[in-house]
């Protein structure tokens, strides 16, 4: 049964609602985050040795040449819109050797290079509205993984194949997301997603206020969430609203990462240092493995305490928080493509609770980091840590370390939000 959808947050209070509802959901679930666990994590060799290197590694920039900034903005925002499919990580690895995000990058790359005046612009609002599942499957290179086999109902010994299985489910979700988005853009008179986001950025720039660092991004976030169905990442959890808005927040931050370093930008650049994290399944899972989020105290009725059976071991935690163990020379630069182990399968309510806990955990970690930086000269650099950079480090280090890549991430299928 699908949980009910709560009303949207009040006007002007979207970012505040993400933070406040996340903390409320975590505390109601009795998921604990101690000062000791946060300090242990923040001063660990695993964190201090790699934070600077990985803190901007969101992987949202594509190696493409664009005719103009609007064309690049369109591709960048489409990549953020389609940044989901984490629940299909294992079957995607089996089919393509790549995880969810790398498959989505390949899809968007294929859409870009396949668009032409003759064939039509797949990246336009009309192109998104007309997108077909067969085209999505071809561009992702998964056409051979869309069928499931079963015995013929009336002919013994005969096996027949039909469309089905997890990859087909994901392809349908991707297609639906593009169709719905294209339809919303066409009905509102926008030629593509980039043009719509550009208008939202201009509205945010007008609202910029030094007294309220959230206001600019709040205006943009509200505009994105209200207009695009695939960005309404929220749910009712036991009668209380939880707002994550992962893809919408990531869209705003990806624009900042791409254009903020330019000497003169042709588009308004949002200040994203204070945004909540862009929470998926990786970040809460990693924070559990790394000892920050403690599920052992959670309400038994939620079924969270035994989800990650490999956590809670002091020796294992010590190894994860240490420097990465040296790898064999031949493995250092080689990505060995192995199908990853599937993690615990969650309900929608459980997933939102863990994602809420991760949002709140990162807010608390930033507060703890600043306090450490203010009290310890050797850690003064921690005063500059913010939630987006912390998000980037957790997401990137999960891929960067061989031992972290083996850690289970929770699974939720049927969602287009992460």
Q: Write the pLDDT tens digit of every residue in 56-95.
A: 877 777 778 898 999 999 999 999 999 999 999 999 999 9
The answer to whether position 216 is within a domain reads yes
Task: Tell me if 174 sits within 8 A of 85, measured CB to CB.
Answer: yes
Residue 391 lies in a domain: yes
Query: Is position 289 within any domain?
Result: yes
Weakest-pLDDT range from 161-170, 225-234, 333-342, 405-414? 333-342
Given a contact cutoff of 8 angstroms between Cβ atoms, the answer to whether 239 and 225 are in contact is no
| Per-residue pLDDT tens digits for 246-276 | 999 999 999 999 998 877 778 999 999 999 9
Contacting residues for 413 by C-beta, under 8 A, at least 6 apart: 87, 88, 166, 169, 345
- The predicted pLDDT at position 261 comes to 80
pLDDT over 70, % of the chain: 94
* Residue 186 within any structural domain of the chain: yes
CA distance 317 to 289: 7
pLDDT for the residue 322:
97
Question: SS3 for 87-127, per residue?
Answer: HHHHHHHHHHCCCHHHHHHHHHHHHHHHCECCCECCCEHHH
pLDDT above 90: residue 159: no
Tokens found for residue 32 = 């604990």
Count of domains in the chain?
A: 1
- Which of 89-98, 144-153, 274-283: highest mean pLDDT? 274-283
Selection from 82, 76, 105, 80 nearest residue 179 by Cα? 82
Assess whether pLDDT exceeds 70 at residue 328: no
Q: Which of 278, 277, 288, 347 is nearest to 317 (CA)?
A: 288
**How high is the pLDDT of residue 160?**
62
- What is the per-residue pLDDT for 330? 46
Q: What digits encode the pLDDT tens for the residues 216-244? A: 999 999 999 999 999 999 999 999 999 99
Q: Look at residue 413 and tell me if it is in a domain.
A: no
| Containing structural domain, residue 301 | 14-329+336-405
Q: Is residue 343 part of a domain?
A: yes
φ/ψ (deg, to 5) at 148:
-120, 145
CA–CA separation, 175 vs 97, rounded Å? 22
Question: Is residue 268 assigned to a domain?
Answer: yes
Q: Is residue 5 part of a domain?
A: no
pLDDT range class, residue 168, cuts 50, 70, 90:
very high
Compute the average pLDDT of residues 294-310. 92
Confidence tier at 119 by pLDDT (50, 70, 90): low
pLDDT at 293: 98
Q: What is the pLDDT of residues 353-385, one digit of tens each?
A: 999 999 999 999 999 999 999 999 999 999 999
Q: Is 225 helix (H, G, I), strand (E, B) or coil?
A: helix
Chain mean pLDDT for the chain: 92
**pLDDT value of position 60:** 79
């Amino acid at each position: 049964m699908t949980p009910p959808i709560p009303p949207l947050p009040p006007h002007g209070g979207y970012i505040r609602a993400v933070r406040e509802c996340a903390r409320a959901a975590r505390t109601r679930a009795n998921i604990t985050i101690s000062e000791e666990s946060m300090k242990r994590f923040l001063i660990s060799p695993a964190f201090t040795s790699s934070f600077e290197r990985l803190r901007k590694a969101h992987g949202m920039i594509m190696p493409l040449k664009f005719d103009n900034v609007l064309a690049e903005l369109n591709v960048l925002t489409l990549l953020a819109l389609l940044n989901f499919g984490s629940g299909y990580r294992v079957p995607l690895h089996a089919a393509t050797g790549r995880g969810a995000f790398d498959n989505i990058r390949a899809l968007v790359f294929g859409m870009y290079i396949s668009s032409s005046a003759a064939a039509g612009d797949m990246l336009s609002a009309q192109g998104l509205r007309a997108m077909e599942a067969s085209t999505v499957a071809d561009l992702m290179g998964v056409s051979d993984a869309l069928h499931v086999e079963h015995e013929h109902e009336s002919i013994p010994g005969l096996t027949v194949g039909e469309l089905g299985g997890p990859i087909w489910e994901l392809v349908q979700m991707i297609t639906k997301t593009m169709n719905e988005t294209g339809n919303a853009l066409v009905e509102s008179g926008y030629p593509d997603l980039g043009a719509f986001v550009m208008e939202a950025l201009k509205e945010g720039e007008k609202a910029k206020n030094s007294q309220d660092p959230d206001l600019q991004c709040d205006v943009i976030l509200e505009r994105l969430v209200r207009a695009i169905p695939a960005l309404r990442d929220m749910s009712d959890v036991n009668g209380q609203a939880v707002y994550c808005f992962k893809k919408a927040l990531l869209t705003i931050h990806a624009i900042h990462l791409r254009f903020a370093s330019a000497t003169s930008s042709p588009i308004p650049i949002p200040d994203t240092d204070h945004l909540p994290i862009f929470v998926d399944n990786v970040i809460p899972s990693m924070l559990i493995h790394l000892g920050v989020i403690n599920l052992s105290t959670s309400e038994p009725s939620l079924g969270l305490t035994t989800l990650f059976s490999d956590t809670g071991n002091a020796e294992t935690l010590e190894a994860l928080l240490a420097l990465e163990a040296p790898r064999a020379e031949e493995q250092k630069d080689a990505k060995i493509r192995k199908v990853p182990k599937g993690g615990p399968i969650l309900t929608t309510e459980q997933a939102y609770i863990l994602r809420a806990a991760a949002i709140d955990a990162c807010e608390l970690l930033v507060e703890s980091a600043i306090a450490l930086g203010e009290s310890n000269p050797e850690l003064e650099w921690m005063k500059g840590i913010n939630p987006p950079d912390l998000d980037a480090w957790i997401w990137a280090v999960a891929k960067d370390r061989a031992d972290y890549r083996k850690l289970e991430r929770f699974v939720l299928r049927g969602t287009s939000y992460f």
